[in-house]
């Protein structure tokens, strides 16, 4: 099976959004956006990404959050329109939210993400809540939400006791499948963990050490990361992918996505496809 993984498209669309909307946490985010990110996450690259995925569709697509910048309705609508262009359809495209998708308390309260992306995190039993569970051939996809609003400069996340307990049960019952856990925040002890890490990562690490998992996928860091966590039968690969829409001259930061080849219950190889400015298309990088 071929599983594509992209993240952090940060679709920007301020159409019809009144400046009054920014008299809250969004003000800081908006300024940050204008000063540092303007023109950095290109909608053209989002189109190229969708075209590349449709050219030779994988079996599944996994999107690890931060579809938007400020959790604004036009941003969600834009991201939804683009995802709907994927020929695989929502049953084979799995989406979990990032911190930018519940950027404010009102975005969380109004369940904007859930309203627009419900079909993309619907479990096999038709429930639309996290953690989600989708069995697809030899693969079991389990998706968690780590997204929650937090005041600037924090960009941290948390899974919570209820999800953790369900994740453990889902991983346990999917033993024998190639289990993929998808979440936005990396479940690792990195040096920025206090500001932007997963608060209950130790608890998730303990769950993974007990029941195991074949692959953990995340976004959030806007760079490719390949790390490991301890599992009951050896190390579990933990893979972060850079932003799929990031304009940058540096080959290691430029817009990209990964394709995992799973064969006979094991991760056979990983391809990274990177955007090439000259052709305007994504190309195999490694
Ligand atoms: Fe992001
Ligand atoms: Fe993030």
pLDDT at 32: 66
pLDDT at residue 23 is higher than 60: no
Indicate which ligand has the atom closest to the C-alpha of 150. 2
How many Å lie between the centroid of ligand 1 and the Cα of residue 9?
7
Angle between helix 43-55 and helix 73-84 axes, rounded to 10 deg: 20
pTM of the model: 0.94
Indicate which ligand has the atom closest to the C-alpha of 97. 2
pLDDT at 154: 86
How many Å lie between the centroid of ligand 2 and the Cα of residue 223?
11
Tens of pLDDT, residues 153-165? 889 999 999 999 9
DSSP letter at 91 equals G
Could you count the other beta carbons within 10 Å of the beta carbon of residue 249?
7
How many Å lie between the centroid of ligand 2 and the Cα of residue 263?
30
Residues in contact with 98: Cβ distance below 8 Å, sequence separation at least 6, in sequence order: 7, 8, 64, 65, 66, 67, 147, 184, 219, 220
- Output 106 or 81, whichever has higher pLDDT: 81
Q: What's the mean pLDDT in 202-220?
A: 98
pLDDT at residue 35 is higher than 80: no
Chain mean pLDDT for the chain = 91
Q: What's the mean pLDDT in 31-52?
A: 78
Domains and CATH numbers, the chain: 2-284 (3.60.21.10)
How many Å lie between the centroid of ligand 1 and the Cα of residue 82?
18
Q: What's the mean pLDDT in 52-66?
A: 97
Q: Residue 157 has which token pair?
A: 């996340």
pLDDT at 25: 62
Quick one: which of 174, 108, 169 has its CA closest to 141?
A: 174
Tens of pLDDT, residues 107-135? 888 888 999 999 999 999 999 999 999 99
How many Å lie between the centroid of ligand 2 and the Cα of residue 159?
14
Quick one: which of 147, 162, 264 has its CA closest to 207?
A: 162
Distance of CA 87 to the CA centre of its chain: 19
C-alpha to C-alpha distance for 194 and 181, rounded to whole angstroms: 22
How many Å lie between the centroid of ligand 2 and the Cα of residue 53?
23
């Amino acid at each position: 099976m071929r599983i594509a993984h992209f993240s952090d498209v940060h679709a920007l669309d301020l159409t019809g959004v009144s400046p009054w909307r920014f008299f809250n946490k969004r003000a800081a985010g908006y300024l940050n956006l204008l000063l540092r990110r303007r023109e950095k996450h290109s909608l053209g690259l989002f189109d190229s990404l969708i075209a590349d995925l449709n050219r030779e569709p994988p079996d599944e697509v996994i999107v690890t959050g931060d579809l938007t910048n400020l959790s604004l309705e036009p941003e969600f609508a834009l991201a939804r329109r683009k995802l709907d262009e994927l020929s695989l359809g929502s049953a084979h495209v799995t989406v979990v939210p990032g911190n930018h998708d519940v950027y404010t308390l009102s975005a969380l309260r109004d369940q904007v993400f859930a309203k627009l992306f419900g079909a993309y995190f619907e479990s096999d039993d038709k429930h639309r809540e996290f953690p989600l569970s989708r069995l697809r051939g030899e693969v079991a996809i389990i998706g968690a939400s780590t997204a929650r609003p937090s005041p600037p400069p924090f960009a941290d996340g948390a899974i919570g006791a209820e999800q953790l307990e369900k994740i453990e049960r889902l991983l346990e019952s999917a033993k024998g499948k190639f289990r993929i856990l998808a979440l936005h925040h990396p479940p690792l002890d990195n040096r920025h963990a206090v500001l932007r890490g997963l608060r209950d990562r130790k608890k998730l690490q303990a769950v993974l050490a007990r029941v195991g998992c074949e692959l953990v996928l995340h976004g959030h860091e806007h760079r490719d990361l390949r790390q490991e966590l301890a599992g009951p039968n050896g190390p579990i690969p933990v893979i972060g992918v850079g932003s799929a829409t990031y304009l940058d001259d540096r080959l290691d930061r430029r817009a990209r996505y990964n394709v995992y080849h799973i064969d006979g219950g094991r991760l056979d190889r990983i391809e990274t496809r990177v955007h090439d400015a000259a052709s305007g298309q994504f190309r195999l990088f490694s």
